[in-house]
Structure 1
């Protein structure tokens, strides 16, 4: 018997508002990373949470390296979810790769979304001539090698680097925990898909109004990337936010929630 979308993606629906907010998490994370924003918005909005296949409490048996060899399959999953819940004109709030997944979904079925909110988003992580993505080829090769050599050791070292906020080690410990809950073979395959992807050419095609939230100190996504997206996406609002680390919805939740609330109210 085929696994339902709700089981496959560990879908949860909360709140009873007329407007729907869909939260799309990033690599190494899961839907629990949005808990601060969920607490803030659930009283007035309908909230849809899910885990991408291979992450969190999704059905790991639904993962195959062939199907998930690009971000397009994750976008298909998102659209399946929207169809199952009969969602239209929802607001998608994405983090990191969850943003590009949302963008690809919006290019296929724009009627599903009235607004997109991108947090620490990047269309390409690898540097390319004048384009500053934040990572060189040797950086990525070293990352892949470390993941392959000892995944759990890599995760414990990678988490504090990406999270920042060294004065609050519990944040890095949480990220390390969600990283290590991913099967190592899946994590390595997904990391390659993300870091080797290039969706710069898709940005100008986006018609859905988009809010770009760029942390001031993001070790994975330089400020130049946020500005690049703002230059390429037609209908956007670019807001630098005072936050350290690549997961500001965890490290600076009040700042992120306030920015989202302001955009939703416009």
Structure 2
């Protein structure tokens, strides 16, 4: 299989620099990193891709069985890394992609040598001694709404997820991204994402890790960032002066600065 075509792989930047893989979250595609790529490509080789079922990836490769768990998306990451023969790459994952990166690192530790988690959440549903931000009833209602009227759900939820109500163009962009995703494939990814529990996987991370959280984020509240930081051995936690769940769009300068500072520390 042509993995580069399947996952719409894009490679840019400095071919002699360390490779940085940028991975998008649910309902998005690689275009969401367009404000980060220019900050990286002078010194780093930058790899972007779309998960199967998202963006311009090959929809014929989609399988409900494979993508019914985060392992299926992690396999996308591993196969992209193998196709490009990446070694010791830095994986930057937004939202659910942060956990996908954890799983991919465990599957292919020689391929990924460091992690940047942007607004991560290992579990969205509250549990005893753990605050994920949502009750189980909230997630059930969210998924029922998404499955019954995906476009309507996108119009309502995108501005909430993005935050920054004073900048409605950001919420509009996220809504358009959601709406451009095939509804049937989005439903599978949503269920996989919001019902996932990767808390135990965090304990096995053995690579340098940066956790980026926002001051206010309805999807991944600060208690989640603190949990991830506490659970991943030796990780760094940076709280960005940003609100919403997509700081690489709403506060790209602060996000890029934190990522680059971490990359420099790895030299």
TM-score normalized by structure 2? 0.97
**CA offset digits 1:9-41 (Å, max 9, x no partner):** 110000124211100110011100111110111
Residues 188-218 of structure 1: CA deviation (Å, up to 9, x unaligned) = 1111111111111111111011000011111
How far does residue 235 in structure 1 lie from its aligned partner after superposition?
2.3
**Cα distance in 2 between the residues matched to 1:102 and 1:116:** 7
- Equivalent residue for 2:13? 15
Q: Which residue of structure 2 lines up, in the alignment, with residue 26 of structure 1?
A: 25
What is aligned with 1:36?
35
Q: Distance in 2 between matches of 1:43 and 1:80?
A: 26
* Whole-Å separation in 2 of the counterparts to 1:216 and 1:148: 31
Residue number among 3, 6, 10 corresponding to 1:5 in the alignment: 3
Deviations, residues 58-112 of structure 1 (Å, cap 9, x unaligned): 1111111111110111111111111111100111111001111110011122121
**1:219 paired residue number:** 218
More displaced, 24-33 or 108-117? 108-117
TM-score (normalizing by structure 1): 0.97
Whether 2:47 is the aligned partner of 1:48: answer yes
Count of paired positions: 264
Q: How does 1:154-165 map to 2 (within 5 A)?
A: 154-165=153-164
* Divergent runs of 4+, >3 A: none
Deviations 1:130-169 (A, max 9, x none): 2100111111111112112221111011100000111111
Task: Give the distance between the partners of 1:109 and 1:155, measured in 2 at CA.
Answer: 34
Answer yes or no: is the 8 Å Cα contact 2:161–2:218 preserved in 1: yes
Q: Secondary structure at the match of 1:106?
A: helix
Q: Point out where structure 2 has 5 or more consecutive residues left out of the alignment.
A: none
* CA–CA separation in structure 2 for the residues paired with 1:264 and 1:67: 32
